[in-house]
Each structure stands twice: as structure tokens, then as C-alpha cells.
Structure 1
Amino acid sequence: MKTLTPIAAALALAISGTALAAENLVDLTQDGNGHIAEATQTGPLTMDNGIIQNQSGNFNRAFATQSYENGSLINQQQTDALNRSKVSQTGGIGNQVITNQSGLLNSAYVKQVVQFGSTVLVDQSGAVNHASVHQVFGANNDAQIYQSGNFGHASISQVGSWNGSAIATQTGFGDGLYASQSGEGNLLNTVQADGGLNFISADQDGFNNQGTISQFGWKNTAHLDQYGFDNDAMMSQSGFLNCADVSQHGIGNSVIMGQIGGFNKAFVNQYGMNETTTMSQNGYGNLAVVNQ
């Protein structure tokens, strides 16, 4: 009979103890009619996780999956009717996802893959809003989406991101947002309010870039690219059919841009170091272009 060495025996005991002491938790409550909830916690090293699912109202859907995950939490809260939340956590440690849904026909999709200490919050009220967050390979990221209007669409992607933060607020009608972050320490805050059909796209790929974008009115478009270090951009649009485009590829550049009125267009490209642009458009049909 083959015997184990003391080290091998200790290792086998530790592994068997871990497998038996997974200590995962599911807390599921349904109050109402026609709800569907699924909670799945599988795979080796899936330990000390929690899934909380509370459903009231009618015909809500909640799906939660944790695999190869350790010490993480999924919390799904649903009221009213026909809302859908789908969350998965895979291969990470110490992550947290919260989805709060009220209203009608809202949907939230969240995926965390190989994340460490990252958080996601999706808060939806109103009707027919869609939110998605993808956090893949990173740590200490934070993504927040708040939708209290109708027919809003918001997508945040944090891939290869560390210490990133992206916050999106939509209170209007049919607003759209796409945000992407990679690198370290990038910050983005967007607000779309008091109108509708506005669109924001933002791509941050670098270190310690900051972007703030606000839209008030109808059919405004804002685009932000930050690919350098320590760049800062503040963009504000109020009115209708305004277009703003900022691209920062250098180090320590700054843009402050404001548009009031309609049919205005503004373009800023910065490729240097410590460049500054301050721009204001008030009226209709103006065009401004800055290259630094």
C-alpha cells in the first residue's frame, strides 16, 4: 500500500477540506406571479459566495451564475413587471454586482471575468431601458448605470482595466451611451437628461485620464477619445443637434467645451503635452476646429 508523505497528506487534507467547505449561499424570494429565478454556483474553488434574488410584481426574470469565483456577491432586486437581469461572475475574487429594477421591460446584463475587488451597480426604473457591463481581466474597477427614463441604452466595457470608474446617468428618452476603458486609473462620468435621443461614445485607453460629459436637449452627439496620460476633458451640450468631438493622444492636456443652441459642431485634437483648449459655442450653425 502506497503511503503519502507528510507534505502530500497535508495538501490532500487541505484540498478535501476546501471542497467540502464551499459555504456558498443562495437567498431567493418570490412574491407575485410568473417569476423565474435561477441561481448557479458551480466549479472547484467556488467558495464563500452569495446570491440574493428578490422578486415582486409579475413575470420578472433573474439569472445568476458564479463559477470558479471566491468571496463575491450577486444581488438582484426586481419589482413591477417583465424585467430581466442576468449576471455572471467567473474566475475572480471579492467582486460585487447589484441590479435594482422597477418599472416595465427593463433589462440588465453584467459579466465579470477574472476580476478582483470590482463592483457594478445597475439601477433601472421607467420602461424598456437596457444596460450592459463587461469587466474582463482587471481589478478595483467600478461601473454604475442609472436609468430612470424610457428606452435608454447604456453599455460600459472595462477590459484590461485597473482602478477604473465609469458612471452613466440617463433620465431622458431614447438616450444612448457606449463607454470603454482600459489602462489604469481612468475616470468617466456622463449625464443625459432633460430631453432625449442623445448619444455619447467614450474610449479611454491610458493612465489617469478623466472625462465628464453632460447632455441636455435633443439629438446631441458627443465623442471622446483619450489615449494618453493625465488628460482631462469636460464637455457640455444644451440644445439640439449639436456635435462635439474631442481626441486626446498626449500627456496632461485639457479641454473645456460648451455648446448651447443647435446645429453647432466642435472638433478638438490634442497630440502634445500640457495643451489647453477652452471653447464655447452659443447660437446656431457654428463650426470650430482646434489642433494642438
Structure 2
Amino acid sequence: MKKILFVLATILLTGAYSFAQINQSNINQIGIDNSAVVQQVGIFNISDIYQDGFTNDATVDQLGIMNMSFLEQIGEGNGYYATQVESNFSTALQLGWFNNAYVDQVGMNSSYVTQFIAESNDAYVTQRGYFNTSVIDQWFSYKEYANVFQWGLGNEAKVTQYEGMYDEALISQWGIGNYANILQERTSDNYAFVSQNGDLNVAMVDQWLGSNNSVEIGQNGFMNTAYADQFGGESNVALIGQQGKYNMAYTGQLGGWLNGISVNQKGKANTASAVQLYGMLNTTLIDQQGRHNNAVTTQDGGWGNLIDVDQKGRWNAASVYQYEGGLNWALVSQQGRRNTAGVYQENGYWNTADVYQHGKWNEASIYQFDGSFNTAEIDQYKKGNDALINQVGGESTTAYIGQEGRYNSAEIYQENNIGSYAGIAQVGDLNDAYIEQFDTELTAAGIIQLGNGNAAAIGQYNSDYSMALIEQTGDSNYATSVQADGVMNSATTTQLGDYNYSTTMQVGNNNVVDVYQAGYGHASVVTQYGNGNSASVSQYDAGMTPAP
């Protein structure tokens, strides 16, 4: 700073030149085979070059008014090449060997390049417009590459490469007031690219330790914000794409190997956070279109796991967490408004959780703990439906909930089952269904309800090769079925009409019950204890024709 002030004072005090042609060039060379070329056209242009060492090279070309270039080269084989048109400012410090800095400025811009105790680094700065600022710092580094391109007004870019080698950092800014910052510290072969097109966008990349990691951020619009962190690890990839305004995205990768994150946002005020902790070959995909959608995902350890979140609409929210395990899939798709989905997968292998919601105010949750080859799926349409699936342990079990209507509720709980199935389908309003299965094998439970205000529940406990089915059509019907401590039991309940009631219980082996009720207000209770029992109930309103 003292040197800059001294040069300015020299220009103001000197009377050796006419006012119309006052330019100032200072060159100080110490060493062998250093080269400096300065060309100035205009007035009040300043060039100051200090070279100390061997075969350093500098070229400064200034055209305009009050362009300023300040250079210090200490070492061997360093190169500085600056072109300034109009009124620009450039300063560079090169302390090391075979470093190169290229500065091309048109307008009224500022560039700062520091290559400190560095070797074979390259820094490129291209600026078009006014009040753009570029800062490139390459410290204690080898063969680092930094490139900043700015076109517009008041953009700011900063690249810091510290104690690394073979890294690449690229920033491209088009517009007004954009900000980009890339930090690569103690890294090797890392890559970071930020592209901003619009106004007041913010992007920050932090890569620390690690090798062959990659980050790409693309922003198109107004006041979008993106943050990407990579700490350690190898060959991890993070991609963020934003179109619109006020969108916010964060990706964080700690350690791990060959993990990947992709976040794509289109619209207004969407938020997304994706974190991967250690693990390998894990993948997270987030796609948001609309307004005020929110997605939060975490993959902690594990391998080959997949998270895929797709949101279209407004105010939808999704949360997905995967802990350890391998080859687990969590898929969430939401269309509409204010839908909420949550998936939690812990340990286990080859488990799949799938949530699809279309409408508004729907809620869905799936929990899978341990186990393998388990599948859970929830489909909900229209308004205010609520669904929950819990799968604990077990192998090759399946749970399905499908609801269409308003304010329906369904829940399935499965624990330590093998090859069993539980399914709920409800169409209408205010229906309620519940299924739980404990320690079963190749057992099936199904509830189908068409109408309004119906309720049904099935419980199967230590029951193998058994089947329970409840079908209700109408309003305000109620049915339950329980099967326990047996094999090869079968229970079928069918109710058509309103306010019918049925309950069945089977304890033992090879029992069969069939209940059919049609009409209004019928009631049936069947209890079977033992083996080989059979019961059939048929009830109708007067004047109705019995079903064949």
C-alpha cells in the first residue's frame, strides 16, 4: 500500500510532462534474463513492476484513464500478462517458480492475484463491466489452476488454493452483484465450477483435504444461494442447479468414496439440504419445481444406497435419512401443496421405501429398521390423508398403503416377518385401517374400504401361511380379524352397506371363517380356538337377495 501511495504522489508532484499525457511506468529488475514490456496509451495510467530472480516475464498493456497495474515477481520463470482498457486496477505477487497470471480487463474493475511460494500455478482473470472484483490466492501450491470470468456490474469472485496440487477452480459470472467463493485447501485433483447468470446470487464451495472430488454449481435467476462442502474423501461429486429466485441449496460430503449428490431447483424459495457422511457409492437426487418446497436428506455410512426426492407444487416437505446398510432405496414423489413425507432406513440391505402423494395436506411416513429385501409403498391422492408403515427386521416382507379421498388414515406395523404381505386400500373419506404382523412367515393381510367413516384392523401374531382379508363398502362399517399361534388359518370378512360390525379371532391351525353381511346394522362375532374349525356367517336385510 505504501508503494502505491508513493507512486501516486510521484505522479501528482512531477512537472516533467504535460498534463494531457501524464502516464507513469516504473520497472525495477534484479537478476538474470528478466523481461518487462509496458505500453500505455491515455492519461494517468500507472504501471509498477519489480522483478528479482531469473527469466521472469511481464507484459502490461494499458489503454484509457487511470489504469493501474502493480507487480512483484520474485523467483524464476514467472509470467504476468495484463491488458487494461478504460480504468482498471490490477495487482499481482508472484513468489516462486514458473507461475503465470493473465489479467484481461475492460471497464472499471479490480483484480488481485497472489502466488506465494508456489510452483507452476496458473491464474486467469477476465473482466468486462464495472466494479467487478476478482481475488485469486495460490499459496504453497503446485500446478493449481484458477479461472475467473466476470461480465456485468459489481460481481465478486474469490478463489483460494492452499497447500494443494493439480486442483481446478473456475468461476463465471454474468449479471449484477453476484458473489462466488471457492476454497481448495490441502487437496489434490479436486474440481470446482461456479456459473452465475443473473443478479445477487451467492455460491460458496469449500473443499478440504480429499482428492478427485468435484463440485458444480449453476445459478440462473435472482438471489439464489448455494453452498457445497467436501471434507476429505475421494471421487465424490456434488451438483447444484438453480433457476428462479430465492432458492437455497446445501450439499455436504464428509469422507467417503464415489458418493454423489444432485440438487435441481426451479421456481421460488425452494430449500434443499443433502448430506453424505462417509460411506461409498451412495447417491442422493433432489428435484424441486414450484415454490417453498423443502427437502432434507442424510446418508450416514453404508454403501450403494439411493435417495430420490421429486417435488412439484408449493410448500411440500420431504425428509429422508439412511443410516449404514447397503443397497437401500428411498423414493419420494410429491405433487400439490403442503404434502409431507418422511423416510427412515437404518441398517438392513436391499430395502425399498416408496412414497407418492398427489394432492394437499397429505402425510406419509416409512420406517425400516434392519431387515433385508423388505418393500414399503404409500400412494395417497386428494386431501388430508395420513399413512404410516413400520418394518422392523424380517426378510422379503411387503407393505402397501393406497388412499384416495379425504382425511383417511392407515398404518401398518411389521416385525420379524419372512415373506409376509400387508396391504391397505381406501377410497372415500374418514376411513381408518390398521394392520400389524409379528413373527409370521408367508402370511397375508389385506384391508379394502370403499366409502366413508369405515374402520378395520387385522392382527397376525406367530401365524404362518395364513390369510386375513377385510372388504367393506359403504359407510361407518367396523371389522377386525386376529390370527395367533397357528398355521394355515383363513379369515374373510365382507360387509356391504352401513353400520355393520364383524370381529373374528383364530388361535390354532387350519381354521377357516367366512363372514358376509349386506345391509344395515348387522353384527357378527366368530371365535375359533383349536384346529380344523370352519365357520360361515351370512346376514342380509329383509328383501335382499343373498350373494351366490
Normalised by the length of structure 1, the TM-score is 0.91
Q: Do structure 1's residue 121 and structure 2's residue 216 form an aligned pair?
A: yes
**CA apart distance, 1:231:** 0.4
The residue that corresponds to 2:341 in the other structure is 244
Write the deviation string for residues 97-121 of structure 1: whole angstroms up to 9, x where unpaired: 0000010100000000012001100
Counterpart of 1:273 (choices 343, 349, 372) is 372
**CA apart distance, 1:137:** 1.0
4+ residue runs over 3 A deviation: none
The residue that corresponds to 2:254 in the other structure is 159
CA distance in 2, matches of 1:53, 1:161: 30
Unmatched segments (≥5 aa) in structure 2? 1-95, 99-118, 392-548
CA distance in 1, matches of 2:256, 2:156: 30
**CA apart distance, 1:208:** 1.2
| Aligned residues of 2:210 and 2:255 also touching (Cα < 8 A) | no
| Aligned residues of 2:214 and 2:238 also touching (Cα < 8 A) | yes
SS for the counterpart of 2:120 is coil
Q: Do structure 1's residue 258 and structure 2's residue 353 form an aligned pair?
A: no
SS for the counterpart of 2:184 is strand
Q: Do structure 1's residue 98 and structure 2's residue 154 form an aligned pair?
A: no
**CA apart distance, 1:210:** 0.4
Q: Do structure 1's residue 216 and structure 2's residue 312 form an aligned pair?
A: yes
Normalised by the length of structure 2, the TM-score is 0.49
Q: Choose 1 or 2 for highest CA Rg.
A: 2
2:351 is aligned with what amino acid?
N
CA distance in 1, matches of 2:187, 2:248: 27
The residue that corresponds to 2:172 in the other structure is 77
* Count of paired positions: 272
The residue that corresponds to 2:483 in the other structure is none
Unmatched segments (≥5 aa) in structure 1? 1-18
SS for the counterpart of 1:208 is coil
CA distance in 1, matches of 2:331, 2:367: 14
CA distance in 1, matches of 2:163, 2:321: 35
The residue that corresponds to 2:231 in the other structure is 136
| Aligned residues of 2:171 and 2:195 also touching (Cα < 8 A) | yes
| Aligned residues of 2:306 and 2:329 also touching (Cα < 8 A) | yes
The residue that corresponds to 2:41 in the other structure is none
The residue that corresponds to 2:133 in the other structure is 36
Query: % of aligned pairs identical?
Result: 30
**CA apart distance, 1:20:** 3.8
- Cα-Cα RMSD: 1.1
CA distance in 1, matches of 2:342, 2:219: 29
CA distance in 1, matches of 2:150, 2:359: 44
Looking at both structures, which has the greater relative contact order when contacts are Cα pairs under 8 Å and sequence separation is at least 6? 1
Write the deviation string for residues 155-188 of structure 1: whole angstroms up to 9, x where unpaired: 0000122111000000011000011002111101
The residue that corresponds to 1:13 in the other structure is none
Write the deviation string for residues 62-93 of structure 1: whole angstroms up to 9, x where unpaired: 00000111001000000110000000001111
**CA apart distance, 1:274:** 1.3
The residue that corresponds to 2:331 in the other structure is 234
More strand by share: 2
**CA apart distance, 1:220:** 0.4
